[in-house]
């Protein structure tokens, strides 16, 4: 009972923190819920005296705390104009990550939490395609239920029957394509978690073809150019680790072609219909890198006193001028040095790369606790199913007769 309660609290807290739709305003509630999960965890674990951190989760937690202490101290020294935001973000990260790290170190809780998270995402995807099928008979307007307010995103969050949350519509000649949001802040963020799930299924005994198909169709439903490219990068990496180099090269080649020329979501089509979304990101990235070259030690997190480009800080490259070279190295460390502590290193690198690439080139998720919680998953090789005792006896090799005296 206590196991289910603490996992449920963590799952609710998940959608109250950044980068979810409610994370802009309800991070404090996420902290309270995660601390509540710790309370039930301590009550449960004290019975069996097994309160501990697993090695790789402990590493993620320690490096993350060091990173946020650095962001806090660095912004304070630099005198950033939004220092109070740094304080709030640092406290939220440390409390939330500590709570999740402690509870998810329990293998049973880890299994239930990440399986639950994957099934919730699948629910959003299935709802989306039910809505799409219904629009063959009725218009979208008749399926409208309510709007979820996402701070700074006024035109997003419209929710349709049965529970399909949309980011926006992409208008193409003869088509009006809906972009799946899935209770996150942007469709381009949701895709990262869907791709992470596709390549983490083995660790949670969910490696079934129908589940992979649902998650892949979820990536497609986000209509994210970066999601399309990142999925094929991760797929190519899996083939490389499986020593299938030719397939990996072909997939990389297809990825570059699709990223530019795929209908509706390729950069060519998007630059015509949604030019600002492409140019603003590239301009902000270039501007941030130029500022980083001028001041490689950074000006302080959330110090947005530079207005030469819209959406400055849109990704890690653009944010590098704020956190400096030390901050960038700490981010890289928490994402990739963790590989030395996990059991299945290849699976970890394949699953985590979509999260890192989304941070690096696509979305402002540097301050999103959920991206670091994903590093705490159990990246294990699938266990071989053991035969029942009677079958093991039946199939064991017969022994050679022992010669008598």
Q: What is the pLDDT along the chain (405 residues), one digit of tens a residue?
A: 889 999 999 999 999 999 999 998 899 999 999 999 999 998 887 755 666 899 999 999 999 999 999 999 999 998 867 899 999 999 999 999 999 999 999 999 999 999 999 999 999 999 999 999 999 999 999 999 999 998 888 889 999 999 999 999 987 767 788 999 999 999 999 999 999 999 999 999 999 999 999 999 999 999 988 888 899 999 999 999 988 778 778 877 777 666 666 665 555 555 555 545 556 788 889 999 999 999 999 999 998 766 555 678 899 999 999 999 999 999 999 999 999 999 999 999 999 999 999 999 999 999 999 999 999 999 987 665 544 444 444 434 444 444 544
Residue 396 CA from chain centroid, whole number: 45
pLDDT given for residue 43 in this prediction = 86
- The two tokens of residue 298 are 């950074």
- The two tokens of residue 113 are 């939490």
pLDDT given for residue 315 in this prediction = 94
- The two tokens of residue 345 are 């290193």
pLDDT given for residue 275 in this prediction = 47
Distance from first CA to last CA of the chain, Å, rounded? Answer: 61
pLDDT given for residue 335 in this prediction = 97
pLDDT given for residue 227 in this prediction = 87
pLDDT given for residue 253 in this prediction = 78
Q: Kindly report the CA angle at 142 between 141 and 143, in degrees rounded to 5?
A: 90
CA distance 192 to 373: 13
pLDDT given for residue 280 in this prediction = 73
Q: What is the pTM of this model?
A: 0.89
pLDDT given for residue 44 in this prediction = 83
Question: Beta strands of 40-187 (E only): which ranges?
Answer: 144-147, 158-160, 164-172, 175-180
CA distance 142 to 139: 6
CA distance 241 to 155: 42
Q: Is the peptide bond before 19 cis (omega within 30 degrees of 0)?
A: yes
pLDDT given for residue 153 in this prediction = 85
pLDDT given for residue 342 in this prediction = 95
């Amino acid at each position: 009972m206590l196991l289910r309660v603490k996992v449920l609290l963590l799952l609710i807290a998940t959608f109250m923190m950044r980068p979810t739709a409610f994370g802009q305003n309800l991070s404090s509630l996420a902290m309270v819920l995660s601390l509540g999960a710790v309370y039930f965890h301590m009550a449960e674990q004290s019975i069996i005296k097994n309160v501990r951190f697993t090695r790789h989760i402990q590493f993620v937690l320690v490096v993350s705390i060091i990173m946020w202490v650095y962001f806090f101290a660095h912004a304070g020294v630099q005198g950033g104009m939004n220092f109070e935001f740094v304080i709030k973000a640092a406290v939220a990260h440390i409390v939330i990550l500590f709570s999740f790290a402690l509870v998810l170190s329990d293998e049973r809780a880890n299994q239930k939490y990440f399986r639950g998270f994957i099934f919730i995402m699948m629910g959003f995807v299935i709802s989306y395609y039910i809505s799409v099928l219904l629009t063959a008979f009725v218009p979208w307007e008749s399926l409208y239920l309510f709007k979820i307010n996402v701070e700074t995103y006024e035109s997003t969050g419209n929710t349709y029957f049965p529970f399909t949350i949309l980011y926006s519509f992409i208008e193409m000649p003869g088509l009006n394509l809906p972009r799946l949001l899935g209770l996150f802040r942007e469709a381009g963020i949701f895709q990262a978690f869907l791709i992470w799930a596709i390549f983490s299924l083995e660790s949670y005994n969910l490696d079934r073809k129908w589940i992979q198909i649902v998650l892949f169709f979820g990536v497609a439903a986000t209509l994210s150019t970066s999601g399309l490219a990142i999925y094929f990068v991760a797929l190519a990496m899996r083939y490389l680790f499986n020593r299938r180099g030719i397939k990996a090269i072909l997939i990389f080649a297809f990825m570059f072609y699709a990223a530019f020329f795929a209908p509706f979501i390729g950069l060519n089509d998007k630059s015509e219909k949604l030019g600002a979304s492409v140019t603003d990101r590239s301009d902000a990235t270039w501007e941030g890198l130029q500022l980083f070259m001028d001041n490689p030690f950074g000006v302080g997190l959330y110090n947005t006193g530079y207005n030469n480009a819209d959406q400055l800080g849109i990704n890690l490259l653009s944010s590098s001028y704020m956190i400096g070279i030390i901050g960038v190295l700490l981010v890289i460390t928490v994402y990739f040095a963790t590989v030395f502590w996990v059991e299945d290193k290849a699976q970890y690198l394949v699953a985590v790369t979509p999260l890192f690439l989304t941070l690096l080139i696509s979305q402002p998720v540097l301050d999103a606790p959920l991206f670091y919680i994903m590093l705490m998953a159990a990246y294990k090789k699938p266990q071989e199913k053991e035969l029942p005792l009677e079958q093991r006896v039946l199939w064991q090799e017969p022994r050679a007769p022992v010669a008598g005296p």
